[in-house]
Chain A
Amino acid sequence: MIYCENVTKKYNSFQALNGISFTIEGNGCFGFLGRNGAGKTTAIRILAGLLKPTSGIVKVNGLDVEQEKEKLAEIMGYLPQHPAFYEYMTGNEWMHWVGQLFRLEKKTVEERTENLLKDCGIWEARNRKISGYSGGMKQRLGLAQALMNRPKLLILDEPVSALDPVGRHEMLTMIMKLKEDMMIFMSSHILEDVEKIADHIIMIDKGEIVLSSCMQELKSTYTSPVIRFSLSEAKQELTKVLNEQEWVMDIQVNMADYILHVKDMTIASAQLPKLISYSGAMLVSYQVDTPSLEDIFLRKVR
């Protein structure tokens, strides 16, 4: 349904996207991950038809996003990172106006407005001016209005960034429900959330796709066990020694906190305590784990 071929985007001398290609199909949630400035929002705005790619082909449901913007708008819902509205309108008025833009019948608009505002948890505030809404309420209204046309593709740019923990949970529950009926293309910094709801992951770094895989495949590929341990103080010598060990696949160090991706857990369990002891550092915590999406992400974008 989304087809990107060798898409580039250049802002003067800055290369925001450097030839990204991917194809995704079917309903489900597709997590689009990357650190700040990786090119996520640029790619999302190209998909929504708001930016033009410098080169490459972008098609959504067979529609060219540059040439067939209006047809695309009929089947797409879009929630930007910071949704903006006509602040003098009430939430209810905005929803009705959006319904009119989709040329929906008045009765349909009324029904959908009520259902969507209730589902998004802002029904009580429907008659308040949007200027009085909090950031979280605007995000909820943004999602509600993006669903007015019952889209086939829902593009969400950091949908939970402005929400409190309860709001985040509610939004994720809603996305879980929605993904059964549509394709959701969602960018987020909160990897824990993406891990819960995404069926497919696309990782982008420095304008390039570094990983595109379905969640199951990702978990099976990155099954190597992880040892997380913390020392009483940072030991550079230990990092150097660990890097030389054959059983160590990858190592992430943050001050005195270590994450080791190991090939063989038996050897690692026997060797690691000795090496820590030789380094003279005191072990504060030690935990054996399976890699989380965050571990995989850090390995890929480091």
Chain B
Amino acid sequence: MTTFISVFQKEWKELMCTYKIIFVPIAFAILMISFPLSMKLLPDLLASEMPKGAVIEIPELSTSEMMSAAFSNFELMGVIILVLISMGSIAGEREKGVAAMVLVKPVSRAVYLLAKWSAYSLLAVGSFIFGMLLTAYYTNLLFSEKLIWANATAGILLYLPIIVLIITFSICASSISKTPVTAGFTAVVLYLLTMNIPKLFQSPWANNLPHGLVNGANEFMKGNIIELAGPLLGTVLLISLVLTVAITQLKRQEI
């Protein structure tokens, strides 16, 4: 445990020294807040471009729909940001030779990997919460319909295992791949496959996978309370499985 804390503290310091701890929350905030802001400004922007006398009516989205759209925005760019910040965590260190300097010390490979995973997961989760809360605040401020905070909070919390899953894929790919670029590409492909393949199947078991949790988080955000124990458990199991594979692979690997 002492070694884990030492490696974790080092990782956290690295996140601070490389300013990831500042850039990631800011990037997430910009990414998520852009949707409610653009929806608020859209009528004015369109009006400035339309001929005089033209009338357009844009129905105002509900605040829950706005929050749900922020999720969608995150799904595209957010995944790429998370993968980019974490893809070199192990592959990069191995490439530079630092991994060899660390792993000849009494640091087990499992501790080395888990400390990195914990630090990056914490950063990703914190940044996501920050971005979503900022989005919720501005959505509440800019639009007439008031946000139901309980629903928004539940939706945000339910999305957190997905954030951790993205980091898990990235760290796992980084432990297996020889270069950070290969790791990043592998992580994105893994994520896309995990989220999209179950959509091809109509069977109920497919809803117990992470994509079911994304849908569930969206539904909670809209105020529709549905049973989510299956996808939640499925996501946690998948995270555990991927971590086990990553640790086993790293233990077998030559540094």
Q: Which of A's residues lie within 8 Å of B, judged by CB?
A: 45, 48-52, 69-70, 73-74, 76, 78, 80, 82-86, 88, 97-98, 100-103, 142, 145
Contacts and interface: CB of A to CB of B under 8 A. Distances in A.
A182 to B, nearest CB: 16
Contacts of B7: 101
B106 interface: yes
Nearest to A103: B2
Interface residues of B, number: 23
B106 A51 contact: no
B107 interface: yes
Given A80-B100, A100-B6, 20 more contacts: A50-B104, A70-B106, A70-B107, A70-B108, A73-B106, A73-B107, A80-B97, A83-B97, A84-B100, A86-B14, A88-B17, A100-B2, A101-B3, A101-B6, A101-B102, A101-B105, A101-B107, A103-B2, A103-B3, A142-B101
B3 A86 contact: no
B18 A88 contact: yes
A51 B108 CA distance: 15
A76 B6 CA distance: 20
B245 interface: no
Interface of B: 2-3, 6-7, 10, 13-14, 17-18, 96-98, 100-108, 254-255
B112 to A, nearest CB: 10
A101 to B, nearest CB: 4
Contact of A88 (B14, B96, B103, B254): B14
Contacts, number: 65
Contact of A73 (B13, B17, B18, B105): B105
A52 B101 CA distance: 17
Contacts of A101: 3, 6-7, 102, 105-107
Contacts of B3: 101, 103
Contacts of B18: 88
A102 to B, nearest CB: 6
B104 A78 contact: yes
B7 to A, nearest CB: 8
Given A50-B254, A101-B3, A73 B101 contact: no
5 contacts: A51-B254, A88-B17, A88-B18, A102-B106, A103-B2
B104 A73 contact: yes
Contacts of A88: 13-14, 17-18
Contacts of A73: 104-107
A141 to B, nearest CB: 10
B108 A86 contact: no
Nearest to A96: B6
A50 B98 contact: no
Contacts of A97: 6, 10
Contacts of A78: 104
Contacts of A100: 2, 6
A52 B105 contact: no
A76 B254 CA distance: 18
A86 B10 contact: yes
Nearest to B2: A103
A85 to B, nearest CB: 7
Of A45, A51, A97, most B-chain CB atoms within 10 Å = A97
Contacts of B254: 45, 50-52
Instruction: Give the 5 A-B CB pairs with smallest separation, nearest first.
Output: A84-B97, A88-B17, A100-B6, A73-B106, A101-B105
A103 B3 CA distance: 7
Nearest to A145: B101
A76 B100 CA distance: 13
Contacts of A85: 98, 101
Nearest to B98: A84
Contacts of B101: 80, 83-85, 142, 145
Nearest to B7: A101
Nearest to B96: A84
A214 to B, nearest CB: 28
A80 B98 CA distance: 10
B120 to A, nearest CB: 16
A69 B100 CA distance: 12
A98 B3 CA distance: 10
Contacts of B2: 100, 103
B44 to A, nearest CB: 45
A70 B112 CA distance: 12
Contacts of A52: 254
A102 B105 contact: yes
Nearest to B107: A101
B59 to A, nearest CB: 51
Nearest to A11: B254
A233 B224 CA distance: 95
A83 B6 CA distance: 21
B8 to A, nearest CB: 11
Contacts of B105: 73, 98, 101-102
